[in-house]
Chain A
């Protein structure tokens, strides 16, 4: 079984451990360390679902919790789980995954015909419009609407799995195991504080897991691995990977969901419960939740093959997967230039970097220029072409005010469009207990204003996107939190 889009080398997947899985009945292969999404992309599968109303084709956009499209149904029988994100679902041997919200199949979907009449189905139109005549509801409308609308199917049998809940106390809880969170955990842990460090991903490192950045002259992940090894040696530190913090309440109360055996699959002999809810009362809370890339808005920006730039970098660097063969990068900031370099270095042809800024400058921009990648400054993507996958983009020049386009339309062939509209700090957990936010003009996003009492925000979640700044802030937040919990220097 060939993995047509797998790079020859690279990535943090175990190429000696192939895994077989099925997607919509097709048998495919990935590697240990893949998510379902990265394994699908490695096999050149880009169409994973259908949109809710018009059943437009939907592809993988992101690489983690931010992906809006890749909802799948995993497993069968009573243990089936509807509406998992393929980007968060770790691959295991024998996984059975199916698309949701498509009938009879994701490639040929009857309801997609709605798209032809899209202009007749205004935004307020919903299936509940079909109410009359009354006798038709039970026999005609409801069964059909149920088929056309809704996503996955809930299991009908009793849940065969066991679940666990646990109450816990600690001095400092750190949410987010990226560079800032790991730095905070190191600082607080070294002072002897009881620390819980949790991260939604299977391992720690956050953005460093999908990047080629260097720290202290070594690859960033070497620093993270050393730090995690040190934390594992500290008796008062609890490391919780695969654990999502889903609630932050007053006075340092944080709810976590740990996925204990989900990644092993339903046939695993592991006797541990499937998931565990943690209810943690912490003296001090450090939020190092990072930032998510936002996509740019243009006509037909929802075709499969159009992804956020950081997600493409993650697939290349972390999974050794090239989501396309020829790429176009569309950006309004510097970070997507790194994606162009990541693709170029791995043999993916970068047709052009389209930048809305008239005169992009910077280290990354210069490096892209040096690689002789074409940069179209002051341009914008105005439309994309393709059916079930993007085949090309249309580009026009932006006017001086940036609110209109003029000149000739240039068409560029590509099967991958990486878009970057800047970064949004993840401030949900700051907002849960009533934390206020403030609009930051310089990068057009909301950031935490005053921190909640006994809570510290560190790293990209307050808009500090540079690695060095994340680490400094992480160390300082860890030190302050530990000191406030009674663990001074």
Chain B
């Protein structure tokens, strides 16, 4: 079971959290201007890296707030936790 640091509540067990998929996917400003392929990419296509992955978590059984995390998908090691709207440590998204 993963051990996750909520930026507001601190270290808690994975069972308190919900997973929100890939982080930093921005809704296009003008959806009408997109081609079908671009819209489908926004809606459905996600990266599936082997290594560092930026992802969203929600502290369902705690403060119920969303936050971001960087996790190594190979070792399950969390590299960083940061709040919504903050730049990811290391800069790269």
The answer to whether A and B interact is yes
Chain B, range 53-91, C-beta contacts under 8 Å to A: 75-77
* Bound complex: CA A433 to CA B76 (Å): 9
Residues of A within 8 A of B1 (CB): 249-251, 253
A281:B77 contact, CB within 8 angstroms: no
1/0 per residue A445-474: CB within 8 Å of B?
000000001000000000000000000000
* Bound complex: CA A167 to CA B39 (Å): 46
A30 at the interface (CB under 8 A from B): no
B13:A281 contact, CB within 8 angstroms: yes
Shortest CB–CB separation between residue B71 and chain A, in angstroms?
Answer: 11
- Counting residue pairs across A and B whose Cβ atoms lie within 8 Å, the total is 20
Q: For this complex, into which size category does the number of interface residues on chain A fall?
A: under 10
Shortest CB–CB separation between residue A285 and chain B, in angstroms?
Answer: 12
A205 at the interface (CB under 8 A from B): no
B3:A252 contact, CB within 8 angstroms: yes
Q: Which residue of B lies closest to A433 (CB)?
A: B76
B25 at the interface (CB under 8 A from A): no
Interface centre among A251, A281, A433, A453 (most CB of B within 10 A): A251
Interface centre among B1, B2, B13, B77 (most CB of A within 10 A): B1
Shortest CB–CB separation between residue A23 and chain B, in angstroms?
Answer: 41
Chain A, range 230-254, C-beta contacts under 8 Å to B: 249-253
Residues of B within 8 A of A453 (CB): 75, 77
Shortest CB–CB separation between residue A359 and chain B, in angstroms?
Answer: 46
Shortest CB–CB separation between residue A334 and chain B, in angstroms?
Answer: 39
A251:B75 contact, CB within 8 angstroms: no
Q: Which residue of B lies closest to A281 (CB)?
A: B3
Shortest CB–CB separation between residue A280 and chain B, in angstroms?
Answer: 11
* Bound complex: CA A251 to CA B76 (Å): 8
Residues of B within 8 A of A251 (CB): 1-3, 76
Residues of B within 8 A of A252 (CB): 3
* Bound complex: CA A171 to CA B1 (Å): 17
Q: Which residue of B lies closest to A252 (CB)?
A: B3
Residues of A within 8 A of B3 (CB): 250-253, 281
* Bound complex: CA A281 to CA B15 (Å): 13
Q: Which residue of B lies closest to A454 (CB)?
A: B77
Shortest CB–CB separation between residue B18 and chain A, in angstroms?
Answer: 17
Residues of A within 8 A of B13 (CB): 253, 281
B residues whose Cβ falls under 8 Å from a Cβ of A: 1-3, 13, 75-77
Can you identify 20 A-B contacts, CB atoms within 8 angstroms? A249-B1, A250-B1, A250-B2, A250-B3, A250-B76, A251-B1, A251-B2, A251-B3, A251-B76, A252-B3, A253-B1, A253-B3, A253-B13, A281-B3, A281-B13, A433-B76, A434-B75, A434-B76, A453-B75, A453-B77
10 interchain residue pairs of minimum CB distance: A251-B3, A253-B1, A250-B76, A249-B1, A250-B2, A251-B2, A453-B77, A453-B75, A281-B3, A250-B1
